[in-house]
Amino acid sequence: MLEAQLGTRSLVALLGDWRNSASGPSYLALFDRIRLLILDGRIPADTRLPAEREIAGALEVSRTMVTAAYRELREAGYTSVLRGSGSVTRLPGRGMGPTETAGSGLIDFTRATLPAAPGIMAATEAALGAYGRYLGGTGLHFAGIPELREAVAARFTARGLPTSADQILITNGAQHAIFLVSRVLLARGDRALVEQPSYPHASDALMLAGARLVPVSVTVGAGWDMAALETAIRRTSPTLGYLMPDFHNPTGESMPEELRERVIGLAHGQGTVLVIDETAGELNIDRPGNLRPFAAYADAAQRSNIITIGSVGKSVWDGLRVGWVRADAGIIQKLTAARPAGDFGTPVLEQLVVAELLADMDEILAARSVQLRTGRDHVLGVIAERFPEWTPGVPAGGIATWVNLGAAVSSQLTLAARSHGLLVTAGPRFGQGGTLERFIRVPISFPVAELDRGLAALALAWQSLPNGTLLQSQFFADVV
């Protein structure tokens, strides 16, 4: 196994304000923070940590302290020590990792998903009827089967963005689309504009493609920092800008219409391709007006600079793993040509199921809106009652609320939540450089009983934070 090396400077940035967030000995605070970074994927498995001596120097702490923290990591199974290689990260045994929740009894708030929409079984039965038509062929449709490409294009057209089937590529979910677009559009060292906070797996994909990220802040209530966005686009001429105008994950913000036109104009002027992630774009709770796709705000020339990504993951069910890219036919051809290096297409049956479901999308989305409103209002009610120090965002749509904890203790709260049986993602996972320690993302997408179980665990974790930490940490303002 080839290990990646994590640089000292990178680790220090990821650690952020690690000292402030825990009581007890410093080595345990350092251990805890590195452990969280490994658990939530900010330090991937098989990464070689910096040498103890270097990290002690950079943090201005004693070597003995770092040695003790590294020993804890090793004993708890978060690193192995390889001869000549130092400490290499790994995920500890079953039931500990964020993805190993099945059967573990843990409540998982790290993935804000919705239960499957009714109608999938009926759609699957109907799809089986059409399946036979495909069995005589190769089954390989790199850009997607014709009827789903048509159906996705028709839905864009109906929503106000005229689209033809050759402008659609079917993917294995939106994440796959983000990865493919990043791989094709970016070269090592290119700049990519991202929101801060942003959807972490998109940032991961952009960085894997070699991008240098240029973060621009989005805040609850105030939304996009337009001045910063303008400066970032003009000064850095990013190759690509990855944005979630509706509904931004994790804040739930929706970009005002006049801002959309300005962003489109700016990006077009600078030759920046906008990659617009509308995975949660139709999960409207109470945004007024109709939800036109972002690219509908652009004129024909500007539109050729916009790539729209979507999926049925949140609207229908994540288990379908079907998403799409909408772009100019030339870009679709490029993406299709690049695809076989990674995969040969999306399963035909799932595509047929989604083609069936798209016909009922308005009905499905109306039901989603009711579910999400119930979840949001419930979460906000519980927070007001049990966590008076917190200031949650009130999302007009989407799958989560972005909560300001009033103190820079998100990592510490996340670790405490783990010991109360709840997996939840710490704020810094959504940003760059160890910021966002005052925030946590709380899903609104689950049924009320599950939300309650998670919130009860969160309340226990909150109460378990050492007295004084909260007061003390008020003095450490976060960057965002």
Distance of closest approach, residue 426 Cβ to ligand PLP, in angstroms: 17
Side chain identity at residue 139, one-letter code: G
**Running DSSP on this structure, what letter comes out for residue 106?**
-
Under rule CB under 6 A, residue 175 binds ligand PLP? yes
Which range touches ligand PLP (CB under 6 A), out of 27-35, 171-179, 181-189, 364-372? 171-179
Q: Which of 16, 41, 144, 173 is close enough to bind ligand PLP by CB under 6 A?
A: 173
x-marked contacts with ligand PLP along 277-306 as a string, rule CB under 6 A: x-xx--------------------------
Instruction: Give CA–CA dist 150/166, Å, rounded.
Output: 9
Q: Which residues contact 175 (CB under 8 A, 6 or more apart)?
A: 201, 202, 205, 323
Facing residues of 284 across strands?
397
Task: State how far Cα 292 lies from the chain centre.
Answer: 22
Neighbours of 7 (CB within 10 A): 11
Paired with 183 in beta bridges are none
311 binds ligand PLP (CB under 6 A): yes
Whole-number minimum distance, CB 100 to ligand PLP, in Å? Answer: 18
Q: Which of 249, 254, 305, 414 binds ligand PLP (CB under 6 A)?
A: 249
What's the first-to-final CA gap in the chain, in angstroms? 38
C-alpha of 422 from chain center: 19
If residue 387 lies in a helix (H) or strand (E), which one and from where to where?
none
User: Least distance from C-beta 170 to ligand PLP, angstroms?
Assistant: 12
Give the shortest CB-251-to-ligand PLP separation in angstroms. Answer: 11
Question: What are the beta bridge partners of residue 277?
Answer: 309
How many residues touch ligand PLP (CB under 6 A)? 13
Contact stretch for ligand PLP (CB under 6 A) within 3-11, 49-57, 275-283, 361-369: 275-283
Stretch 215-244 residues interacting with ligand PLP (CB under 6 A): 244
The yes or no reply on residue 424 touching ligand PLP (CB under 6 A) is no
Q: Which residue has the tokens 């989005």?
A: 218
Residue of closest CB approach to ligand PLP: 173
Confirm or reject binding of residue 308 to ligand PLP (CB under 6 A).
no
Asked if residues 297 and 257 have their Cβ atoms less than 8 Å apart, the reply is yes
List of residues contacting ligand PLP (CB under 6 A) = 173-175, 199, 244, 249, 277, 279-280, 311, 313, 318, 323
